Structure 1
Amino acid sequence: MGSLVGHVLPGLAFFLLGFWHLFNHIKLHSLHPNPYTSPTWFPTPKSRHLELFLIMVASSISISMELFISPARHQPLDPDGTIPSTHLHNFEHSSISMTFFIYAAFAIILDKISPKAKHSLTQFIAAVAFAQQLLLFHFHSADHMGVEGQYHLLLQTVIVVSLTTTLTGIGLPKSFMVVRCSSDEALQRAKSLVNIIFSWTLIAVIIFSMALYLVLAKLYGEKMDYLTLKKEEDLELEVEEESDGFESQKEGKLYAVMDIER
Protein backbone atom coordinates (compact mmCIF):
# COMPACT_ATOMS: atom_id res chain seq x y z
CA MET A 1 0.00 0.00 0.00
CA GLY A 2 2.80 2.39 0.60
CA SER A 3 5.87 3.13 2.61
CA LEU A 4 6.20 4.44 6.13
CA VAL A 5 7.64 7.71 4.88
CA GLY A 6 5.09 8.13 2.09
CA HIS A 7 1.90 7.42 4.03
CA VAL A 8 2.21 6.96 7.77
CA LEU A 9 4.43 9.93 8.61
CA PRO A 10 2.43 12.47 6.54
CA GLY A 11 -0.76 11.07 8.06
CA LEU A 12 0.70 11.45 11.54
CA ALA A 13 1.70 15.03 10.76
CA PHE A 14 -1.83 15.90 9.63
CA PHE A 15 -3.26 14.15 12.70
CA LEU A 16 -1.09 16.18 15.07
CA LEU A 17 -1.90 19.39 13.24
CA GLY A 18 -5.62 18.58 13.38
CA PHE A 19 -5.42 17.84 17.12
CA TRP A 20 -3.57 21.14 17.67
CA HIS A 21 -6.33 23.01 15.85
CA LEU A 22 -9.12 21.14 17.66
CA PHE A 23 -7.61 21.98 21.05
CA ASN A 24 -7.08 25.64 20.24
CA HIS A 25 -10.48 26.19 18.62
CA ILE A 26 -12.23 24.77 21.69
CA LYS A 27 -10.03 26.79 24.03
CA LEU A 28 -10.53 30.00 22.07
CA HIS A 29 -14.31 29.55 21.88
CA SER A 30 -14.51 28.73 25.60
CA LEU A 31 -12.59 31.86 26.55
CA HIS A 32 -14.21 34.22 24.05
CA PRO A 33 -17.56 32.77 22.88
CA ASN A 34 -19.06 36.04 21.67
CA PRO A 35 -16.19 37.63 19.70
CA TYR A 36 -14.91 34.18 18.52
CA THR A 37 -13.43 34.16 15.00
CA SER A 38 -12.11 30.97 13.42
CA PRO A 39 -8.39 31.49 12.65
CA THR A 40 -6.49 29.50 10.02
CA TRP A 41 -3.48 28.96 12.28
CA PHE A 42 -2.61 29.53 15.92
CA PRO A 43 0.36 31.43 17.36
CA THR A 44 2.37 30.02 20.26
CA PRO A 45 3.73 31.94 23.25
CA LYS A 46 7.44 31.49 22.48
CA SER A 47 7.24 31.73 18.68
CA ARG A 48 4.23 33.30 17.04
CA HIS A 49 4.71 31.47 13.71
CA LEU A 50 5.92 28.11 15.08
CA GLU A 51 2.99 26.19 13.54
CA LEU A 52 3.65 27.68 10.12
CA PHE A 53 7.41 27.09 10.37
CA LEU A 54 6.77 23.43 11.23
CA ILE A 55 4.47 23.09 8.20
CA MET A 56 7.22 24.52 6.00
CA VAL A 57 9.83 22.18 7.50
CA ALA A 58 7.58 19.11 7.15
CA SER A 59 6.71 20.07 3.57
CA SER A 60 10.39 20.52 2.71
CA ILE A 61 11.23 17.11 4.18
CA SER A 62 8.38 15.54 2.20
CA ILE A 63 9.54 17.12 -1.07
CA SER A 64 13.12 15.99 -0.42
CA MET A 65 12.02 12.43 0.34
CA GLU A 66 9.80 12.20 -2.74
CA LEU A 67 12.19 13.75 -5.29
CA PHE A 68 15.74 13.29 -4.04
CA ILE A 69 16.11 10.77 -1.21
CA SER A 70 13.74 7.93 -2.16
CA PRO A 71 14.68 7.63 -5.91
CA ALA A 72 17.55 5.22 -6.62
CA ARG A 73 19.59 7.91 -8.41
CA HIS A 74 18.58 10.49 -5.81
CA GLN A 75 16.90 12.59 -8.47
CA PRO A 76 13.49 12.03 -10.08
CA LEU A 77 14.33 12.45 -13.80
CA ASP A 78 15.49 10.08 -16.52
CA PRO A 79 18.92 10.67 -18.16
CA ASP A 80 17.16 12.50 -21.01
CA GLY A 81 15.52 14.92 -18.58
CA THR A 82 11.99 13.50 -18.79
CA ILE A 83 9.84 12.32 -15.89
CA PRO A 84 9.67 8.50 -15.76
CA SER A 85 6.23 6.95 -15.30
CA THR A 86 7.39 5.25 -12.12
CA HIS A 87 8.05 8.63 -10.55
CA LEU A 88 4.84 10.43 -11.51
CA HIS A 89 3.32 9.77 -8.10
CA ASN A 90 6.43 11.29 -6.47
CA PHE A 91 5.83 14.54 -8.33
CA GLU A 92 2.15 14.48 -7.38
CA HIS A 93 2.90 14.01 -3.69
CA SER A 94 5.64 16.67 -3.75
CA SER A 95 3.26 19.10 -5.47
CA ILE A 96 0.84 18.76 -2.56
CA SER A 97 3.66 19.43 -0.10
CA MET A 98 4.79 22.43 -2.15
CA THR A 99 1.33 23.98 -2.00
CA PHE A 100 1.17 23.62 1.77
CA PHE A 101 4.66 25.15 1.96
CA ILE A 102 3.42 28.12 -0.06
CA TYR A 103 0.36 28.43 2.19
CA ALA A 104 2.51 28.60 5.33
CA ALA A 105 4.97 31.05 3.76
CA PHE A 106 2.26 33.45 2.62
CA ALA A 107 0.44 33.11 5.93
CA ILE A 108 3.57 34.45 7.65
CA ILE A 109 3.94 37.26 5.11
CA LEU A 110 0.28 38.27 5.40
CA ASP A 111 0.51 38.24 9.20
CA LYS A 112 3.53 40.56 9.12
CA ILE A 113 2.03 42.95 6.54
CA SER A 114 -1.45 42.63 8.03
CA PRO A 115 -3.67 43.84 5.14
CA LYS A 116 -7.42 44.17 5.59
CA ALA A 117 -8.12 40.87 3.76
CA LYS A 118 -5.48 38.94 5.75
CA HIS A 119 -7.92 36.41 7.20
CA SER A 120 -9.78 35.75 3.94
CA LEU A 121 -6.60 35.48 1.87
CA THR A 122 -5.03 33.04 4.33
CA GLN A 123 -8.18 30.91 4.35
CA PHE A 124 -8.28 31.03 0.54
CA ILE A 125 -4.69 29.78 0.15
CA ALA A 126 -5.40 26.95 2.60
CA ALA A 127 -8.54 26.07 0.61
CA VAL A 128 -6.49 25.99 -2.62
CA ALA A 129 -4.05 23.57 -0.96
CA PHE A 130 -6.88 21.23 0.05
CA ALA A 131 -8.50 21.55 -3.40
CA GLN A 132 -5.25 20.62 -5.13
CA GLN A 133 -4.78 17.70 -2.73
CA LEU A 134 -8.30 16.46 -3.56
CA LEU A 135 -7.69 16.85 -7.29
CA LEU A 136 -4.39 14.95 -7.27
CA PHE A 137 -5.75 12.13 -5.12
CA HIS A 138 -8.86 11.82 -7.29
CA PHE A 139 -6.90 11.74 -10.58
CA HIS A 140 -3.91 9.86 -9.13
CA SER A 141 -1.40 8.46 -11.67
CA ALA A 142 -1.29 5.21 -9.67
CA ASP A 143 -4.62 3.40 -10.04
CA HIS A 144 -5.22 2.24 -6.51
CA MET A 145 -7.47 -0.82 -6.59
CA GLY A 146 -9.02 -3.00 -3.93
CA VAL A 147 -8.55 -2.11 -0.32
CA GLU A 148 -5.96 0.58 -1.02
CA GLY A 149 -8.40 2.22 -3.42
CA GLN A 150 -11.01 2.18 -0.67
CA TYR A 151 -8.66 3.98 1.67
CA HIS A 152 -7.96 6.58 -1.02
CA LEU A 153 -11.70 7.07 -1.52
CA LEU A 154 -12.27 7.61 2.18
CA LEU A 155 -9.26 9.94 2.28
CA GLN A 156 -10.87 12.06 -0.40
CA THR A 157 -13.94 12.30 1.81
CA VAL A 158 -11.82 13.68 4.63
CA ILE A 159 -10.18 16.16 2.25
CA VAL A 160 -13.61 17.32 1.04
CA VAL A 161 -14.62 18.01 4.65
CA SER A 162 -11.37 19.95 5.25
CA LEU A 163 -11.87 21.93 2.05
CA THR A 164 -15.49 22.72 2.88
CA THR A 165 -14.76 23.90 6.41
CA THR A 166 -11.85 26.04 5.19
CA LEU A 167 -14.03 27.72 2.56
CA THR A 168 -16.75 28.22 5.18
CA GLY A 169 -14.19 30.03 7.32
CA ILE A 170 -13.95 32.74 4.67
CA GLY A 171 -17.62 33.65 4.58
CA LEU A 172 -18.46 32.54 8.11
CA PRO A 173 -15.37 33.10 10.24
CA LYS A 174 -17.48 33.02 13.42
CA SER A 175 -18.98 29.77 12.93
CA PHE A 176 -3.53 3.25 7.08
CA MET A 177 -2.84 -2.22 6.63
CA VAL A 178 -1.51 -4.26 3.82
CA VAL A 179 -4.24 -6.64 2.60
CA ARG A 180 -4.07 -9.20 -0.20
CA CYS A 181 -7.37 -10.62 -1.37
CA SER A 182 -7.53 -14.08 -3.01
CA SER A 183 -11.02 -13.71 -4.48
CA ASP A 184 -13.73 -11.17 -5.23
CA GLU A 185 -15.60 -12.26 -2.14
CA ALA A 186 -12.53 -11.62 0.00
CA LEU A 187 -12.07 -8.23 -1.69
CA GLN A 188 -15.64 -7.18 -0.95
CA ARG A 189 -15.23 -8.36 2.64
CA ALA A 190 -12.02 -6.33 2.97
CA LYS A 191 -13.74 -3.22 1.58
CA SER A 192 -16.57 -3.67 4.05
CA LEU A 193 -14.06 -4.01 6.88
CA VAL A 194 -12.38 -0.79 5.76
CA ASN A 195 -15.75 0.99 5.84
CA ILE A 196 -16.45 -0.39 9.31
CA ILE A 197 -13.03 0.67 10.59
CA PHE A 198 -13.54 4.13 9.10
CA SER A 199 -16.96 4.38 10.73
CA TRP A 200 -15.58 3.30 14.10
CA THR A 201 -12.74 5.77 13.75
CA LEU A 202 -15.22 8.52 12.96
CA ILE A 203 -17.29 7.61 16.02
CA ALA A 204 -14.13 7.62 18.17
CA VAL A 205 -13.16 11.04 16.80
CA ILE A 206 -16.62 12.43 17.60
CA ILE A 207 -16.54 11.04 21.15
CA PHE A 208 -13.00 12.31 21.71
CA SER A 209 -13.76 15.74 20.28
CA MET A 210 -16.89 16.21 22.38
CA ALA A 211 -15.17 14.96 25.55
CA LEU A 212 -12.26 17.31 24.91
CA TYR A 213 -14.66 20.18 24.31
CA LEU A 214 -16.56 19.53 27.55
CA VAL A 215 -13.34 19.32 29.58
CA LEU A 216 -11.79 22.45 28.08
CA ALA A 217 -15.06 24.38 28.17
CA LYS A 218 -15.38 23.60 31.86
CA LEU A 219 -11.72 24.42 32.52
CA TYR A 220 -11.47 27.67 30.60
CA GLY A 221 -15.10 28.59 31.16
CA GLU A 222 -14.55 28.59 34.92
CA LYS A 223 -11.46 30.75 34.46
CA MET A 224 -13.49 33.17 32.39
CA ASP A 225 -16.24 33.32 35.03
CA TYR A 226 -13.61 33.92 37.70
CA LEU A 227 -12.00 36.73 35.74
CA THR A 228 -15.38 38.33 35.10
CA LEU A 229 -16.34 38.11 38.78
CA LYS A 230 -12.98 39.54 39.80
CA LYS A 231 -13.40 42.46 37.41
CA GLU A 232 -16.86 43.16 38.81
CA GLU A 233 -15.54 43.08 42.39
CA ASP A 234 -12.67 45.41 41.45
CA LEU A 235 -15.14 47.75 39.78
CA GLU A 236 -17.40 47.78 42.85
CA LEU A 237 -14.38 48.47 45.04
CA GLU A 238 -13.35 51.39 42.84
CA VAL A 239 -16.87 52.79 42.98
CA GLU A 240 -16.92 52.49 46.78
CA GLU A 241 -13.53 54.19 47.04
CA GLU A 242 -14.66 57.00 44.79
CA SER A 243 -17.85 57.34 46.80
CA ASP A 244 -15.92 57.47 50.08
CA GLY A 245 -13.58 60.05 48.61
CA PHE A 246 -16.53 62.13 47.44
CA GLU A 247 -18.13 61.98 50.88
CA SER A 248 -14.85 63.03 52.46
CA GLN A 249 -14.63 65.99 50.14
CA LYS A 250 -18.17 67.01 51.00
CA GLU A 251 -17.46 66.81 54.72
CA GLY A 252 -14.27 68.80 54.25
CA LYS A 253 -16.11 71.53 52.39
CA LEU A 254 -18.84 71.57 55.04
CA TYR A 255 -16.34 72.07 57.86
CA ALA A 256 -14.64 74.78 55.86
CA VAL A 257 -17.92 76.66 55.42
CA MET A 258 -18.67 76.37 59.11
CA ASP A 259 -15.27 77.77 60.00
CA ILE A 260 -15.80 80.73 57.71
CA GLU A 261 -19.22 81.48 59.22
CA ARG A 262 -17.66 81.48 62.69
Structure 2
Amino acid sequence: MGGTPRVSIGHILPGVGFVAVGLWHLFNHIKLFSLRPDYYVAPVWFPVPRVRYLELILIIAGSAVEFVMEMFVDHSTFLPFDADGSIPSDRLHNHEHAIICLALVVYAAAALHLDRVRARGRDVLSLLLVAAVFAQELLVFHFHSTDHAGVEGQFHWLLQVIVAACLCTALLGIGFPRSLAVSLARSACVTFHGLWLAVIGAMVWVPSFVPKGCSLVREDGRDTVRCHSKESLHRAKALANLQFGWYLAFMTVFVVALYLYVCNRYPAAAEAAYAPLSKAAADEDECMDARKCDVERGGGGGGGGMHGFTSLEIDV
Protein backbone atom coordinates (compact mmCIF):
# COMPACT_ATOMS: atom_id res chain seq x y z
CA MET A 1 0.00 0.00 0.00
CA GLY A 2 1.44 3.36 -0.98
CA GLY A 3 0.70 6.88 0.05
CA THR A 4 -0.99 8.21 3.15
CA PRO A 5 -4.50 6.89 3.76
CA ARG A 6 -7.41 9.20 4.49
CA VAL A 7 -7.65 7.88 8.02
CA SER A 8 -4.08 9.03 8.69
CA ILE A 9 -4.88 12.59 7.60
CA GLY A 10 -8.06 12.35 9.68
CA HIS A 11 -5.91 11.90 12.79
CA ILE A 12 -3.04 14.24 11.92
CA LEU A 13 -5.06 17.35 11.04
CA PRO A 14 -7.22 17.30 14.21
CA GLY A 15 -4.02 16.60 16.13
CA VAL A 16 -2.45 19.76 14.71
CA GLY A 17 -5.56 21.69 15.76
CA PHE A 18 -5.36 20.43 19.36
CA VAL A 19 -1.62 21.22 19.48
CA ALA A 20 -2.24 24.77 18.24
CA VAL A 21 -4.95 25.43 20.84
CA GLY A 22 -2.90 23.82 23.61
CA LEU A 23 0.21 25.89 22.83
CA TRP A 24 -1.86 29.07 22.55
CA HIS A 25 -3.33 28.42 26.01
CA LEU A 26 0.02 27.44 27.54
CA PHE A 27 1.66 30.66 26.38
CA ASN A 28 -1.21 32.91 27.44
CA HIS A 29 -1.75 31.31 30.85
CA ILE A 30 1.93 31.70 31.71
CA LYS A 31 2.01 35.27 30.37
CA LEU A 32 -1.12 36.25 32.30
CA PHE A 33 0.25 34.76 35.51
CA SER A 34 3.68 36.33 35.01
CA LEU A 35 2.28 39.82 34.50
CA ARG A 36 -0.23 39.71 37.38
CA PRO A 37 0.46 36.76 39.68
CA ASP A 38 -1.66 38.14 42.54
CA TYR A 39 -4.71 38.67 40.32
CA TYR A 40 -4.49 35.59 38.09
CA VAL A 41 -7.79 33.97 37.15
CA ALA A 42 -7.67 31.39 34.36
CA PRO A 43 -9.85 32.17 31.31
CA VAL A 44 -11.43 29.29 29.42
CA TRP A 45 -10.34 30.77 26.07
CA PHE A 46 -8.26 33.76 25.04
CA PRO A 47 -9.41 36.67 22.84
CA VAL A 48 -7.26 37.82 19.94
CA PRO A 49 -6.60 41.51 19.17
CA ARG A 50 -8.89 42.85 16.41
CA VAL A 51 -10.63 39.46 16.08
CA ARG A 52 -11.77 38.70 19.61
CA TYR A 53 -13.35 35.31 18.88
CA LEU A 54 -10.73 33.98 16.45
CA GLU A 55 -9.91 30.96 18.65
CA LEU A 56 -13.55 29.92 18.93
CA ILE A 57 -14.24 30.61 15.25
CA LEU A 58 -11.34 28.39 14.19
CA ILE A 59 -12.56 25.61 16.50
CA ILE A 60 -16.04 25.83 14.97
CA ALA A 61 -14.71 25.91 11.41
CA GLY A 62 -12.21 23.06 11.89
CA SER A 63 -14.72 20.85 13.69
CA ALA A 64 -17.39 21.53 11.07
CA VAL A 65 -15.02 20.58 8.24
CA GLU A 66 -14.03 17.36 10.03
CA PHE A 67 -17.71 16.60 10.68
CA VAL A 68 -18.45 16.89 6.96
CA MET A 69 -15.43 14.73 6.09
CA GLU A 70 -16.53 12.00 8.49
CA MET A 71 -20.17 12.00 7.44
CA PHE A 72 -20.14 12.65 3.71
CA VAL A 73 -16.66 12.46 2.11
CA ASP A 74 -14.38 9.58 1.07
CA HIS A 75 -17.04 6.89 0.93
CA SER A 76 -18.69 4.96 -1.83
CA THR A 77 -21.81 7.01 -1.19
CA PHE A 78 -22.08 10.54 0.16
CA LEU A 79 -25.13 9.60 2.21
CA PRO A 80 -24.31 8.68 5.85
CA PHE A 81 -27.44 6.49 6.12
CA ASP A 82 -28.89 3.56 4.24
CA ALA A 83 -32.09 3.87 2.27
CA ASP A 84 -34.14 2.72 5.28
CA GLY A 85 -32.53 5.37 7.54
CA SER A 86 -30.22 2.98 9.41
CA ILE A 87 -26.47 3.49 9.86
CA PRO A 88 -24.33 1.10 7.78
CA SER A 89 -21.98 -1.04 9.86
CA ASP A 90 -18.90 0.24 8.04
CA ARG A 91 -19.91 3.83 8.81
CA LEU A 92 -20.45 3.49 12.57
CA HIS A 93 -16.95 4.74 13.42
CA ASN A 94 -17.50 7.80 11.23
CA HIS A 95 -20.67 8.70 13.12
CA GLU A 96 -18.82 8.26 16.41
CA HIS A 97 -16.02 10.59 15.31
CA ALA A 98 -18.60 13.08 14.07
CA ILE A 99 -20.18 13.20 17.55
CA ILE A 100 -16.87 14.47 18.96
CA CYS A 101 -16.74 17.16 16.27
CA LEU A 102 -20.31 18.15 17.08
CA ALA A 103 -19.46 18.46 20.78
CA LEU A 104 -16.59 20.81 19.90
CA VAL A 105 -18.89 22.95 17.76
CA VAL A 106 -21.43 23.15 20.60
CA TYR A 107 -18.75 24.21 23.09
CA ALA A 108 -17.18 26.89 20.89
CA ALA A 109 -20.50 28.31 19.67
CA ALA A 110 -21.95 28.38 23.20
CA ALA A 111 -18.81 30.00 24.65
CA LEU A 112 -18.92 32.66 21.94
CA HIS A 113 -22.60 33.42 22.55
CA LEU A 114 -22.24 33.44 26.34
CA ASP A 115 -19.46 36.00 26.04
CA ARG A 116 -21.41 38.19 23.61
CA VAL A 117 -24.42 38.42 25.93
CA ARG A 118 -22.17 38.75 29.03
CA ALA A 119 -23.99 35.91 30.78
CA ARG A 120 -23.27 35.40 34.46
CA GLY A 121 -21.10 32.40 35.24
CA ARG A 122 -20.11 32.05 31.61
CA ASP A 123 -16.60 30.84 32.47
CA VAL A 124 -17.91 28.02 34.67
CA LEU A 125 -20.46 26.98 32.06
CA SER A 126 -17.85 27.09 29.29
CA LEU A 127 -15.53 24.86 31.33
CA LEU A 128 -18.38 22.42 31.87
CA LEU A 129 -18.84 22.31 28.11
CA VAL A 130 -15.12 21.65 27.68
CA ALA A 131 -15.44 18.78 30.17
CA ALA A 132 -18.44 17.49 28.20
CA VAL A 133 -16.31 17.41 25.02
CA PHE A 134 -13.64 15.27 26.66
CA ALA A 135 -16.23 13.07 28.36
CA GLN A 136 -17.85 12.49 24.98
CA GLU A 137 -14.48 11.65 23.43
CA LEU A 138 -13.53 9.28 26.26
CA LEU A 139 -16.88 7.51 25.92
CA VAL A 140 -16.49 7.13 22.16
CA PHE A 141 -12.94 5.75 22.28
CA HIS A 142 -13.64 3.44 25.21
CA PHE A 143 -16.75 1.90 23.62
CA HIS A 144 -15.66 2.28 20.02
CA SER A 145 -17.50 0.22 17.43
CA THR A 146 -14.14 -0.46 15.79
CA ASP A 147 -12.18 -3.30 17.37
CA HIS A 148 -8.97 -1.47 18.28
CA ALA A 149 -6.93 -4.60 18.77
CA GLY A 150 -3.21 -5.16 18.63
CA VAL A 151 -0.94 -2.20 17.91
CA GLU A 152 -3.79 0.13 17.02
CA GLY A 153 -5.54 -0.76 20.28
CA GLN A 154 -2.44 0.05 22.33
CA PHE A 155 -2.13 3.50 20.78
CA HIS A 156 -5.83 4.19 21.39
CA TRP A 157 -5.69 2.92 24.97
CA LEU A 158 -2.90 5.41 25.69
CA LEU A 159 -4.99 8.10 24.00
CA GLN A 160 -7.78 7.40 26.49
CA VAL A 161 -5.33 8.11 29.34
CA ILE A 162 -4.64 11.56 27.87
CA VAL A 163 -8.32 12.31 27.29
CA ALA A 164 -9.13 11.30 30.88
CA ALA A 165 -6.43 13.72 32.08
CA CYS A 166 -7.96 16.49 29.95
CA LEU A 167 -11.37 15.75 31.48
CA CYS A 168 -10.04 15.81 35.06
CA THR A 169 -8.14 19.08 34.61
CA ALA A 170 -11.18 20.72 33.00
CA LEU A 171 -13.31 19.78 36.02
CA LEU A 172 -10.59 20.91 38.44
CA GLY A 173 -10.50 24.27 36.69
CA ILE A 174 -14.07 24.92 37.83
CA GLY A 175 -13.15 24.54 41.49
CA PHE A 176 -9.70 26.15 41.26
CA PRO A 177 -9.89 29.02 38.74
CA ARG A 178 -6.87 30.77 40.30
CA SER A 179 -4.58 27.74 40.17
CA LEU A 180 -1.82 28.08 37.60
CA ALA A 181 -0.93 24.40 38.11
CA VAL A 182 -4.41 23.31 36.96
CA SER A 183 -4.32 25.64 33.95
CA LEU A 184 -0.85 24.51 32.91
CA ALA A 185 -1.79 20.85 33.31
CA ARG A 186 -4.97 21.31 31.25
CA SER A 187 -3.16 23.17 28.46
CA ALA A 188 -0.30 20.66 28.43
CA CYS A 189 -2.79 17.78 28.27
CA VAL A 190 -4.59 19.38 25.31
CA THR A 191 -1.23 19.84 23.54
CA PHE A 192 -0.21 16.25 24.30
CA HIS A 193 -3.63 15.09 23.11
CA GLY A 194 -3.04 16.65 19.70
CA LEU A 195 0.54 15.39 19.52
CA TRP A 196 -0.54 11.82 20.28
CA LEU A 197 -3.35 11.99 17.69
CA ALA A 198 -0.76 12.95 15.08
CA VAL A 199 1.51 10.13 16.27
CA ILE A 200 -1.35 7.64 15.89
CA GLY A 201 -2.08 8.90 12.38
CA ALA A 202 1.54 8.44 11.37
CA MET A 203 2.58 5.27 13.23
CA VAL A 204 -0.56 3.24 12.57
CA TRP A 205 -1.62 4.24 9.05
CA VAL A 206 1.54 5.32 7.22
CA PRO A 207 3.12 2.12 5.81
CA SER A 208 6.72 3.29 6.21
CA PHE A 209 6.20 3.86 9.96
CA VAL A 210 4.58 0.51 10.74
CA PRO A 211 6.75 -1.45 13.27
CA LYS A 212 9.04 -4.20 12.05
CA GLY A 213 7.33 -7.56 11.84
CA CYS A 214 3.92 -5.93 11.20
CA SER A 215 2.16 -4.68 8.09
CA LEU A 216 -0.81 -2.56 7.06
CA VAL A 217 -3.65 -4.70 5.76
CA ARG A 218 -7.21 -4.18 4.60
CA GLU A 219 -9.89 -5.73 6.83
CA ASP A 220 -13.64 -5.12 6.85
CA GLY A 221 -13.32 -2.13 4.59
CA ARG A 222 -10.63 -0.32 6.62
CA ASP A 223 -6.86 -0.30 7.01
CA THR A 224 -5.30 -1.70 10.18
CA VAL A 225 -1.95 -3.02 11.44
CA ARG A 226 -1.48 -6.73 11.88
CA CYS A 227 1.69 -8.33 13.28
CA HIS A 228 3.00 -11.63 11.95
CA SER A 229 3.92 -13.16 15.31
CA LYS A 230 3.37 -12.73 19.03
CA GLU A 231 6.93 -11.48 19.43
CA SER A 232 6.34 -8.80 16.80
CA LEU A 233 3.09 -7.77 18.49
CA HIS A 234 4.72 -7.48 21.92
CA ARG A 235 7.58 -5.51 20.43
CA ALA A 236 5.18 -3.14 18.62
CA LYS A 237 3.16 -2.52 21.82
CA ALA A 238 6.35 -1.90 23.77
CA LEU A 239 7.43 0.62 21.15
CA ALA A 240 4.09 2.42 21.53
CA ASN A 241 4.62 2.60 25.30
CA LEU A 242 8.16 3.89 24.79
CA GLN A 243 6.95 6.57 22.41
CA PHE A 244 4.34 7.67 24.93
CA GLY A 245 7.06 7.99 27.57
CA TRP A 246 9.38 9.89 25.23
CA TYR A 247 6.72 12.39 24.22
CA LEU A 248 5.58 12.81 27.83
CA ALA A 249 9.15 13.61 28.88
CA PHE A 250 9.48 15.99 25.95
CA MET A 251 6.25 17.76 26.93
CA THR A 252 7.42 18.13 30.53
CA VAL A 253 10.73 19.70 29.50
CA PHE A 254 8.99 21.90 26.94
CA VAL A 255 6.45 23.27 29.45
CA VAL A 256 9.19 24.11 31.97
CA ALA A 257 11.32 25.79 29.27
CA LEU A 258 8.33 27.76 27.98
CA TYR A 259 7.44 28.83 31.50
CA LEU A 260 10.95 30.15 32.15
CA TYR A 261 11.07 31.92 28.78
CA VAL A 262 7.69 33.64 29.11
CA CYS A 263 8.28 34.68 32.73
CA ASN A 264 11.61 36.19 31.67
CA ARG A 265 10.02 37.86 28.64
CA TYR A 266 7.06 39.30 30.58
CA PRO A 267 8.24 40.11 34.13
CA ALA A 268 5.78 41.43 36.71
CA ALA A 269 7.48 44.87 36.82
CA ALA A 270 4.18 46.73 36.82
CA GLU A 271 2.96 44.80 39.86
CA ALA A 272 6.19 45.51 41.75
CA ALA A 273 5.77 49.22 41.10
CA TYR A 274 2.10 49.09 41.97
CA ALA A 275 2.56 47.77 45.51
CA PRO A 276 4.63 50.72 46.88
CA LEU A 277 2.32 53.19 45.16
CA SER A 278 -0.66 51.60 46.84
CA LYS A 279 1.09 51.74 50.22
CA ALA A 280 2.05 55.39 49.67
CA ALA A 281 -1.51 56.23 48.70
CA ALA A 282 -2.82 54.51 51.84
CA ASP A 283 -0.32 56.42 54.01
CA GLU A 284 -1.36 59.66 52.35
CA ASP A 285 -5.03 58.92 53.07
CA GLU A 286 -4.19 58.31 56.73
CA CYS A 287 -2.32 61.60 56.87
CA MET A 288 -5.25 63.45 55.29
CA ASP A 289 -7.64 61.89 57.79
CA ALA A 290 -5.36 62.94 60.67
CA ARG A 291 -5.18 66.51 59.40
CA LYS A 292 -8.94 66.60 58.98
CA CYS A 293 -9.36 65.55 62.60
CA ASP A 294 -6.87 68.20 63.66
CA VAL A 295 -8.82 70.88 61.84
CA GLU A 296 -12.11 69.75 63.37
CA ARG A 297 -10.58 69.76 66.86
CA GLY A 298 -9.18 73.20 66.13
CA GLY A 299 -12.66 74.61 65.78
CA GLY A 300 -13.42 73.81 69.46
CA GLY A 301 -10.40 75.19 71.37
CA GLY A 302 -7.31 77.38 71.19
CA GLY A 303 -4.50 74.83 71.56
CA GLY A 304 -6.02 72.29 69.23
CA GLY A 305 -6.93 75.02 66.79
CA MET A 306 -3.41 76.33 66.66
CA HIS A 307 -2.07 72.79 66.07
CA GLY A 308 -4.52 72.16 63.28
CA PHE A 309 -3.89 75.54 61.72
CA THR A 310 -0.13 75.11 61.93
CA SER A 311 -0.25 71.73 60.16
CA LEU A 312 -2.41 73.14 57.38
CA GLU A 313 -0.20 76.20 57.08
CA ILE A 314 2.95 74.07 56.78
CA ASP A 315 1.35 71.95 54.08
CA VAL A 316 0.47 74.97 52.00
TM band (smaller chain): 0.7 to 0.9
Identify which of 66, 90, 97 aligns with 2:94: 90
Question: More relative contact order in 1 or in 2 (CA 8 Å, sep 6+)?
Answer: 2
Separation (CA, whole Å) in 2 of partners of 1:229 and 1:127: 39
What secondary structure is seen at the aligned counterpart in 1 of 2:37?
A: coil
| Displacement of 1:231 | 8.9
Q: Which deviations, in whole Å up to 9, do the C-alpha atoms of 1:35-69 show, x marking residues without a partner?
A: 11121111111211110000000010001100112
The TM-score normalised by the length of structure 2 is 0.71
| Displacement of 1:170 | 0.7
| Displacement of 1:226 | 5.3
Identify which of 6, 9, 29 aligns with 1:5: 9
Identify which of 245, 256, 275 aligns with 1:210: 256
Give the aligned partner of residue 186 of structure 1: 232
Residues 108-257 of structure 1: pairs in structure 2 closer than 5 A: 108-175=112-179, 176=199, 177-178=203-204, 179=210, 180=214, 181-221=227-267, 224-225=268-269, 228-229=272-273
Amino acid at match of 1:56: I
Give the aligned partner of residue 103 of structure 1: 107
The TM-score normalised by the length of structure 1 is 0.85
Residues 30-109 of structure 1: pairs in structure 2 closer than 5 A: 30-109=34-113
Q: Which deviations, in whole Å up to 9, do the C-alpha atoms of 1:67-114 show, x marking residues without a partner?
A: 112222212112232110000001000000000100001001111122
Separation (CA, whole Å) in 2 of partners of 1:170 and 1:227: 26
Separation (CA, whole Å) in 2 of partners of 1:173 and 1:58: 28
Runs of 4+ aligned structure 1 residues displaced above 2 Å come to 226-233
| Displacement of 1:16 | 1.1
Amino acid at match of 2:261: V
Separation (CA, whole Å) in 2 of partners of 1:22 and 1:44: 15
Provide the aligned C-alpha RMSD in A. Answer: 2.5
What secondary structure is seen at the aligned counterpart in 2 of 1:153?
A: helix
Amino acid at match of 1:196: L
Verify the 8 A CA contact 2:35 2:271 in the aligned structure 1.
no
Amino acid at match of 2:273: L
Number of aligned residue pairs? 243
What secondary structure is seen at the aligned counterpart in 2 of 1:3?
A: helix
